[in-house]
Amino acid sequence: MSALLEAIAATLIGGIFMLTIITSIINIQAIGVNLNQQIELVETSEDIVSVIESYLSFVGAGVADSAIINTTDSSFTFSYADSIGSARRIINIGEETINDSKQLAAYRDGSTIPSLGPFQLSDYGVEFVYYDVNENPNPADSLIRSVQMTMEFEYDTYREDIDRRFIRHRIRIWKYFKNLYL
């Protein structure tokens, strides 16, 4: 009888041990997938920022006046020309709401199809703060010489049923409009 009890106890302890190992493996897999998603989000957001910075480097290029068309906390519209005397081009970079989520997109020349995006943003979204020559915030459009752009991208996690969280990556860039100084 004691051998039977020892066998049952050993089976029970072995089962608990096996359950612990399986749970650990599942958690390690979820953490690994979340880490890969974080790396992918960081790489993608850095690529997006490099394209946005290249767009912002066009502000006022080839345009004598009214380079900055519209400024809000969540969007920025400006113009440039490919060469002096050529037709003006207009770029609008900003936040929009699609299917109840914030998205970042850039449009060219009034097109309804984005030339960049849309990209999923967190609830923070995107924020523009504009500065004049003396670094005073929020001047009139004609006095703007630089911008601080803050955006936060997000990505769903792997295990929504256990612990639903979003992976977020916030980036802040400063861009000085050299063409407006010339």
Give the model's pLDDT for residue 38: 84
Classify 34 in phi/psi space as left (phi over 0), alpha (psi -120 to 50) or beta: alpha
Question: pTM of the predicted model, to two decimals?
Answer: 0.75
CA distances from 159 to 15, 24, 36, 123 (A): 25, 14, 14, 20
Give the model's pLDDT for residue 122: 84
Write out the DSSP string of 111-161: -SS-SEEEEEEEEEEEEEEEE-TT--BS--GGG--EEEEEEEEEEE-S-TT
What's the helix, strand, coil split of the chain in %, to 5?
Answer: 35, 40, 30
- For the stretch 107-130, pLDDT in tens is 888 777 777 778 888 888 899 999
Among 50, 171, 72, residue whose Cα is nearest residue 121: 171
Taking 60 as the threshold, does the pLDDT of residue 37 lie above it?
A: yes
